[in-house]
Structure formats: C-alpha cells, structure tokens
Structure 1
Amino acid sequence: MATTHEIKVQRREDEGKGASRRLRHSGNVPAIVYGGDLDPVSIQLVHEDVLLASKNEWFYSSILDLNLGGDLQKVLLRDMQRHPYKQQIMHLDFQRVSADQALRTSVPLHFLNEDKSPAGKAADVVITHEMNEVEISCLPQDLPEYVEVDLGELKLGDAIHLSDLKLPQGVGIPELKFGKEHDVAVVIARHGRIEAAETEGEEAEGSAEVPASKVDEDAGKSAGDDK
C-alpha cells in the first residue's frame, strides 16, 4: 500500500508574474494542479511547509494528498523550480492521479548490505551505482516510495541489472519492454585498478591535444607540397 502525505493548499486567484512575485514576498509558493478530468487550478502553499517537505525523499516519489479546504486531491509532484542561489522554492507543478489508471514515475533506489557483501569487504574492489532511481509503472495504490537493492551477495565482477530488481507486486519497469539492450546495469563491482585505468583513459582522451609545433610542421609540409 502506497503511503500518502497531506499538504494544505489554498486557491490562488491572481495570476501573472507580478502576482507570483508578491506571493513569494509574502512567504508563499505559487503552484498549479493539472490532469485528470478537471481543469487546471492555480494554488498556493506556505513556503516554510514546502521547504520542510522538500527535504524528505517521499515528497518527490510518493502520492501526496493536497487539501484544498477539505477537498482532497491525490497528486504527484512533477516539477519544482528553485531559485538559482537562494534557499527558495519558486514554483511547483502537481499532476492528479486516478485510482484506476496506471502512472509512470521515478522512485529512488535504496542500496542495502553493501558493506557486508564480499565485494564491499574486499580492499581493491570498487562498487559503482550506475543509477540512483528507476522509472516504474503501476497503479497509484501500488506505488512504492523506493525500491530496495540488496547487495549482500555482490562479488567482484558481478553486475545487477534492471531485470534483477525485486519489485513489489503490481509494479513494472517500462524500459524492459524495449528489449535486452535496455536491461542496463544498476550496480557494478569491478577491480579498483580497472576502474582507475578507465578513468585515466577518459581523462587522457579528453585532454589530448596536437602540439603547436606539430601543427606548424604539418602546415609547412602542406605548403611545400603545394609548390
């Protein structure tokens, strides 16, 4: 059963940049709710409440109950705009969800028992997390707040792919429907020397340049050939 969290909101009558600016100055956040069979509705939230909620993982991946004067609407956060340097949330987009319609969203991956695994205990093994979240599809009632990845048996040379993830009942990964080439690695355990060599190779490739003396030499040869 998906966990829901209630957030109180108010309807916003004034719109436009000027109205949004005044709203932010008063300690509120402009937002919009859209989707489903209802028209989009402009709302506002108390900034302090939103900022506190935004520090929790569930705010981004769980179903939220927006409470508009006692009217509850189940939504997912679809977009959040932050100020470029201030600790301020500028705008929020929420999408309504229907109990009988499957939704697609990304949820975090929680990696368990990494330090207890053979790879985690080895001195010269690097465990890389290739992704920290995964896109899933399910009905709202089956939405998990996160997906666990047990690394307890991970050994050197092992890789855990999308198809290896243990998902709750009713939850699927849409990407896997497109073929084996989309079954990408989530976690890889490789030798530290290999990891270091690959990193050094990428850095060398990115920084490689033709010396100026070589360019002048080639240019001189070309000029001689043209004569």
Structure 2
Amino acid sequence: MTIEIIANSRDSKGTGASRRLRRAGKVPGIVYGGGKDAASIELDHKALFLQFRHEAFHASILTLNLDGKKEPVLLRDYQMHPVRTEIAHIDFQRVSTTEKIHVKVPLHFVNADTAPGVKTGGGIVTHILTEADVSCLAKDLPEFIEVDLGKMEAGQTIHLHEIKLPKGVEFVKLAHGDDSAVASVTKPRGAVADEAAAAE
C-alpha cells in the first residue's frame, strides 16, 4: 500500500503565518533529514486528515510529493488542535535507502478466540503492548506485526522473542536485552476463587 501526500513549499513562517494557513484549511509542516536542509511545507487539511486516520499512515514509508518532486518519508511527529479534531502541525523525516530506521509498528493479535486458555480455560487476553519499536531498512518495514495467540494457555505470557518477524526486521528492545511481555492470558478473579474453593 503506497500513501502519497501532496505538499507545497511555504516561505512564510511564525505563529501568525501558521494561524493564517490553518484558517485557510491548510496544515503547516516540516520535512527534514536525509542530508538535506529542513524545508517548511503546507498541506491541505482535508486530504491529509483522510490519510492520517489510517493506521498505515503512522507506520509506513510515505511518498511525499513536494512541489512535484517525490521522496520517501516517515511521519515523525504531529500536534493536534486542543479542542477540535484537527492537525495543527506535522513533521516528516526523509528516509535513506541504505540506513536502518527505528519505527513504532502496530501489533495485530490473531487467533485469540481459539487459544486453549480462552476457549476452554475461560481466560481473558490482556494486551500488554499494542506497538513495538523495530529497526530495519526502509524497504523491509512492515505495516504491522502479527502476534499469534492460538497456542496460549491460561496463565501464559508471550514475549518479544517468541514473535516471528519478517526478514531484516528486529525488535529494538530485544536487541538491547529487553525481552518484554507482549500479551498474556489470565483467568478472571471469580474463576480463580471458584477453583480455590473447589480445591478446598
């Protein structure tokens, strides 16, 4: 899935200029990195917001079409209006094809309903992480990472090292020796109390 963002260069800077842009239905932004100077840009709010709502927009390589020239970028930061559902400012980072990038990628949990701990054990799945930092080349960046819960028993926890990653992708935490818990299947308190009572 390729997401293309249309943007134009802007010369006017400062709070007043940004306010005028927003009143005109535009979003002020900046694109930086990649060995080039930072550039101030403006984008159409309506078109941008339609793309912004998609999960892939936040964890994919995007194509920035700036004044007709295209380049790969990542969403790096954004500010929302304190009251209205509007993007107040947005930052993009140019992407190198030869350097590894660090990106937060969403985790998609599958087969929770068929896990023995849920289906027959009456357990409840708890998502400890919903996204994870990965390191990879731009061409290897996945839109999401699938976490298969199909074999989990009640009382079990799945950790980062147990998740299958696409080729060329690694978890940043794991590379630093942190094998974080990702999801667990726990029994509801009432069920645990009932079992204890039955055992007595």
Indicate whether the TM-score tops 0.5: yes
**Residues 54-74 of structure 1: per-residue CA shift (max 9 Å, x gap):** 110011000010001221111
Is the 8 Å Cα contact of residues 73 and 96 (structure 1) preserved in structure 2? yes
**Residues 55-111 of structure 1: per-residue CA shift (max 9 Å, x gap):** 100110000100012211111001010011201110001001100000001000000
Question: Considering only CA atoms, is the larger Rg found in Structure 1 or Structure 2?
Answer: 1
Pick aligned residue for 2:87 from 81, 86, 89: 89
Are 1:116 and 2:114 matched, yes or no? yes
Is the 8 Å Cα contact of residues 121 and 153 (structure 2) preserved in structure 1? no
Cα 1:196/1:6, change in 2 over 3 Å? farther
| 1:190 corresponds to | 186
**Residues 170-216 of structure 1: per-residue CA shift (max 9 Å, x gap):** 0011211222xx1111011122118999xxxxxxxxxxxxxxxxxxx
Count of aligned pairs = 193
Instruction: Give every structure 1 segment of 4 or more consecutive aligned residues whose post-TM-superposition deviation is greater than 3 Å.
Output: 194-197
Are 1:77 and 2:75 matched, yes or no? yes
Richer in helix (by share) = 1
Within 2, Cα distance between the matches of 1:93 and 1:195? 48
Q: Post-superposition shift, 1:120?
A: 2.4
| 1:155 corresponds to | 153
Richer in strand (by share) = 2
| 1:50 corresponds to | 48
Q: Post-superposition shift, 1:119?
A: 2.0
| 1:174 corresponds to | 172
Unaligned runs of 5+ in 2: 194-200
| 2:124 corresponds to | 126
Q: CA RMSD in A?
A: 1.7
Pick aligned residue for 1:15 from 6, 13, 16: 13
Identity within the alignment, %: 47
Q: SS where residue 49 of structure 2 aligns?
A: helix
Cα 1:176/1:195, change in 2 over 3 Å? farther
Are 1:24 and 2:22 matched, yes or no? yes
For residues 196-211 of structure 1, the aligned pairs below 5 Å read: none
Q: SS where residue 115 of structure 1 aligns?
A: helix
Is the 8 Å Cα contact of residues 126 and 195 (structure 1) preserved in structure 2? no
Give me the TM-score of the superposition, normalised by structure 1. Answer: 0.81
Give me the TM-score of the superposition, normalised by structure 2. Answer: 0.92
Within 2, Cα distance between the matches of 1:47 and 1:194? 49
